């Protein structure tokens, strides 16, 4: 890892965080108080289940890494692909739930943009770690 990589990772994280904050606030303004309460209730009960696959990916990464079955690069790539699949499935699920609950289409579009940028930021950071293994 060169001396600039931690700075670049932190910079990407800060930029994505700032963009996400602005997008989320813009989207939240499109909802009345009842819809905001419904939104929290809609996803609060399933929040623990959404982190399960991510924890599973981290456990798989640890097992692959410490067992020595595959190289670090292969472990990164496997987990990166699983993270992308998880992100796509989550995005589909959230979109479906918001539409079923009759949220405004403007809010759904903003939420999906927020989710996409959030995922993209994570993938850029993760890709940086993978790329570091190639160099």
59-113 confidence digits (pLDDT tens): 998 898 889 888 888 888 898 899 889 888 888 988 898 899 888 888 888 888 8
So what's the pLDDT on residue 133?
A: 64
Distances (CA, A) of 28 to 6, 90, 95: 32, 20, 16
What's the CA gap between 110 and 29, in Å, rounded? 11
Could you tell me the pLDDT band of residue 42, with boundaries at 50, 70 and 90?
Answer: confident
Of 1, 4, 9, the residue nearest 123 (C-alpha): 9
The answer for residues whose C-beta is within 8 angstroms of residue 35's C-beta and 6 or more apart is 103, 104, 107
pTM for the model stands at 0.73
SS3 state of residue 126: helix
């Amino acid at each position: 890892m060169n001396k600039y990589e931690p700075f670049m990772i932190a910079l990407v994280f800060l930029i994505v965080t700032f963009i996400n904050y602005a997008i989320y606030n813009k989207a939240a303004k499109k909802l009345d108080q009842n819809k905001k309460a419904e939104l929290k209730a809609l996803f609060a009960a399933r929040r623990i289940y959404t982190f399960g696959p991510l924890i599973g990916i981290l456990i798989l990464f640890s097992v692959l890494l410490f067992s020595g079955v595959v190289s670090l690069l292969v472990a990164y790539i496997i987990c990166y692909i699983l993270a992308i699949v998880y992100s796509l499935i989550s995005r589909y699920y959230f979109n479906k739930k918001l539409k079923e609950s009759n949220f405004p289409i403007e809010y759904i579009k903003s939420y999906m943009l927020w989710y996409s940028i959030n995922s993209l930021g994570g993938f850029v950071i993760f890709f940086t770690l993978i790329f570091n293994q190639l160099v």
